Amino acid sequence: MNAYHQLVEHVKNISHFEHLAAICGWDQAAMMPTGGAPARAEAMAALHVHIHQLMNQPQLAEWFAQAEQAPLTTEQQAVLREMKRRWQQNTVLPESLVQAKSIAGARCEHAWRQQKQDNDWAGFAANWEEVVKLSREEAQIRAAATGKTPYDAMLDLYEPGASTQTLDRLFDDVKSWLPSLIDQVIEKQSHESVQLPRGNYPSETQKSLGLAVMQLLQFDFDHGRLDESTHPFCGGVPSDVRITTRYSEAEFVQSLMGIVHETGHARYEQGLPKAYAGTAAGEARSMGIHESQSLFFEMQIGRNPQFISHLAELAARHFNAHNDPVFAEANLQKLYTRVNKDFIRVDADELTYPAHVILRYEIERDLMNGVIEFRDVPELWDQKMQHYLGLSTQGNYRQGCMQDIHWTDGSFGYFPSYTLGAMYAAQFMAAMKKTVDVDGAIRSGDLSPIFNWLSANIWSKGSLFTTDELVKQATEETLNPAHFKAHLESRYLG
């Protein structure tokens, strides 16, 4: 067996243990009783040590060196490139830093859960200072290894190929038109009336409605399932994708669209190329592309009037309430496109969401590059919230810079993926419409033409191409925020 095949066998073996980690991780969130946690944490730690050891075996460097000299097909070169990228990211940090960050991150995140409720910035900052310090060390080591800036090196973990230069350009564009668009839309919507859902929507009924919508979205139930967890997510493995949601019996709107969103993630996973399963080339291209698929489902399909029409019909049927004005098509459409300036990112609507993300991007970028310090964050947050959304978070840390989990354990570089995803989704839809009758497909109830396009252009490509190559092949240009702007203007002002 040559070095290339030895590498492939080795990473496939690692992928088996990652498979078990994914299933047990899902179990932890969706199934495990509380008392199971301590023993499970020990078992998962042993599993992660084992994966880490496999990833750090000394012969790998030699195999990579040999494989890079060997004659390989184009596909094999892509597989090798992605295997190496993952290997380097996983092995570049000294063990001591990995452990220190893991301990500091776990401590900070754990304490944050209470500190957030208590609006306790001082308590949080005491732990967070260390997380920021260690994350900067990480960023510097990754930067030295890749020749990037510290923040770009962190960004690369989630969005390979993305850079501050590109993001600044994209987000500056968005900032040039978003605030005034938001104001226009809010003014327009202030003249509309909408019927809010008022319970009681039983979880069981919401679940069967959710399953019906997943069916419409052609989720493959032979390779996945739907369950419940406190924080909805898409987990598992491509052959067995586990999505979760959370039901509130007071309303059905959020959970239903949450299921549509997670189904987008899931269909991407289910559609990844099986021939490359177990290697990095068979995995999702990036967090932004992953989010582009969930947001394609949630925003591009899910809020399409033809789709809302299906939702209205299905919801009225499941809740046995055909004359309830809440379920009227026009009302649902309004419910799903209401725009509000508010503090909390995870509750934000499609239009204000990018403002939340850009704010975080600008802060974490400067934090990682050493331009600002951890103690500057609340003040900057307040300034930017006032600037982008006209809201002050002075002294309101809970609804300000302490609201998200990402920074508590040092996951700097993740936030841009959300808005990149939204932009890619709009661009994919614009390209798809050149050859696919999207409205007609949705109206007919057979959405296959849409999914065939996504499968052919995105899902089946895995990580065989760079993000720029993938997007260019699919849409004939790299990421262009004009599509996002056109989409938002058409939906909210059209």
Interface residues with a copy of itself (CB under 8 A)? Answer: 13, 16-17, 19-20, 23-24, 27, 31-36, 38-40, 42-47, 50, 220-225, 236-240, 277
Tell me if residue 262 is catalytic.
yes
Return the structure tokens found at 471. 């997007």
Residue closer to a copy of itself by CB (options 43, 344) is 43
For 46, residues 6+ apart whose C-beta sits below 8 A from its C-beta are: none
Quote the least distance from Cβ 219 to a copy of itself, whole Å.
11
- Between helix 416-432 and helix 448-457 the angle, nearest 10°, is 120
Residue closer to a copy of itself by CB (options 249, 329) is 249
Q: What is the spatial distance between Cα 210 and Cα 202, in angstroms, rounded to a whole number?
A: 12
Length in residues, the chain: 494
* Order of strands, sheet of 240-245, starting from the edge strand that comes earlier in the sequence: 224-228, 240-245, 234-237
Q: How many CA atoms lie within 13 A of 219 on its CB side?
A: 26
Q: What is the spatial distance between Cα 400 and Cα 394, in angstroms, rounded to a whole number?
A: 8
- Between helix 150-158 and helix 121-146 the angle, nearest 10°, is 90
Return the structure tokens found at 422. 């939204």
Residue closer to a copy of itself by CB (options 266, 441) is 266
Give the helix/strand (H/E) hosting 244.
strand 240-245
Residue closer to a copy of itself by CB (options 50, 334) is 50
Quote the least distance from Cβ 281 to a copy of itself, whole Å.
17
Q: What is the spatial distance between Cα 199 and Cα 180, in angstroms, rounded to a whole number?
A: 35
Quote the least distance from Cβ 393 to a copy of itself, whole Å.
38
The C-alpha angle 272, 218, 326, rounded to 5 degrees, equals 130
SS (H, E, C) 213-234: HHHHCCCCHHHEEEEECCCCCE
- Between helix 3-30 and helix 74-91 the angle, nearest 10°, is 60
Q: Are the C-beta atoms of residues 438 and 426 closer than 8 Å to each other?
A: no
Residue closer to a copy of itself by CB (options 16, 375) is 16
Quote the least distance from Cβ 320 to a copy of itself, whole Å.
18
Q: How many CA atoms lie within 13 A of 492 on its CB side?
A: 29
Q: Which of 82, 109, 262, 364 is catalytic?
A: 262
The catalytic residues are 262
